[in-house]
Homo-oligomer: A and B are copies of this chain.
Amino acid sequence: MGEFDLIARYFNRPTRRAALGPGDDCALLAPAAGQQLAVSSDMLVEGRHFLSTVDPARLGHKALAVNLSDLAACGARPLACTLALALPRVDEAWLAGFSDGLYALADAHGCELVGGDTTAGPLNVCITVFGEVPAGGAILRSGARAGDELWVSHAPGGGIGDARLALEVFRGTVALGGERFERVRRAMERPEPRVALGLALRGVASAALDVSDGLLGDLAHLLRRSGVGATVEADAVPRSAELADQPLAVQQLCTLSGGDDYELLFTAAPSARERVAAAARAAGVAAARIGRIESETGLRLVDAAQRPLERAWTSFDHFVA
């Protein structure tokens, strides 16, 4: 099967909202009047962002999910995406699974695949997403103010750090079997982007980003862009039953510098607590208050009794980790 047959068979479903879908030199998007276009691009590399053994449907899901998560963090409504794919060989079963996983999530969020590229090469998945947000209405990293409270979203009954816990199981540093492993593995391989929450937080959150490289490391980006500091209560970071059963050091590693969570970390004024709770309810997720924004720059970590904790964490960095 050649490149063009491959595209026709797996990546050429009809589009409705785009002015022009796949098949020409460019796709054409027609953003509604008064809307800005939010754009983000993420590249996934085998062995770095996913294991070679991953179910291709889950990989298709995740490749789009991590991009939709960026739209969610800005409060943008998904509109379209492009897919560039390098494949070592044409494997039809793999392509069918990958394509199904990608389209299922795309359809769930009204995010049309409008174009892209395929080539032979070491497995690499690069998706660029486009979303709409009212002009001036995007939630930025730079809006946090001293006095704001710090929140993180999570699945009801879940928490932060499960993806990292699953990775540690794959690495053999943690033992976890059966259903419990399958649950955290699902968190790693099939994250749910918090698109509905991002939309509900427009006008409520003062700043937001998505947690992809580890909670504290990502928080540091938000603090730097906002010119503020924060105190985070480590014990308040929500964790699943699977993670809560691990030694404290594993819990802290996974919750504070785990990575691959794709939850929203956001700030809001204390007066907005009820509105935050309502936004989370409306989006079908939970939100935990884990700290406060302060004018003193830097990041302070405390326990439940507000005693300072040693900051024994690092953020994920592709060129260091």
Contact = CB atoms under 8 A, between A and B. Distances in A.
Interface of A: 1-4, 6, 19-20, 23-31, 33, 36-43, 45-49, 70-71, 73-74, 76, 80, 82-87, 90, 114-122, 124, 126, 128, 130-131, 133, 135, 138, 140-142, 208-210, 221, 225, 317-320
A254 to B, nearest CB: 21
Copies of the chain in the assembly:
2
Contact of A76 (B26, B33, B121, B208): B26
A228 to B, nearest CB: 16
Nearest to A129: B26
A117 B41 contact: yes
Contact of A86 (B80, B114, B124): B124
A113 to B, nearest CB: 11
A180 B196 CA distance: 59
A25 B209 CA distance: 6
Contacts of A208: 25
Nearest to A39: B27
A117 B45 CA distance: 12
B28 A138 contact: yes
A90 B318 CA distance: 10
Given A1-B319, A28-B39, A28-B138, 12 more contacts: A4-B317, A24-B141, A24-B142, A25-B141, A26-B38, A26-B131, A37-B37, A39-B82, A41-B83, A45-B120, A84-B128, A121-B122
A128 B41 contact: yes
A103 to B, nearest CB: 17
Contacts of A26: 38-40, 70-71, 73-74, 76, 131, 138
A3 B319 CA distance: 6
Contacts of A25: 40, 70-71, 73-74, 141, 208-210
A317 B37 contact: no
Given A25-B74, A317-B3, A42 B84 contact: yes
Given A28-B133, A74-B24, A317-B3, A119 B40 contact: no
A14 to B, nearest CB: 15
24 contacts: A1-B319, A2-B319, A3-B318, A3-B320, A4-B221, A20-B138, A26-B70, A26-B76, A27-B40, A28-B36, A30-B135, A39-B80, A39-B128, A40-B115, A41-B84, A41-B117, A43-B85, A45-B119, A47-B121, A48-B119, A90-B319, A117-B126, A118-B318, A126-B126
A23 B225 contact: yes
B319 A39 contact: no
Contacts of A135: 19, 30
B41 A115 contact: yes
B29 A37 contact: yes
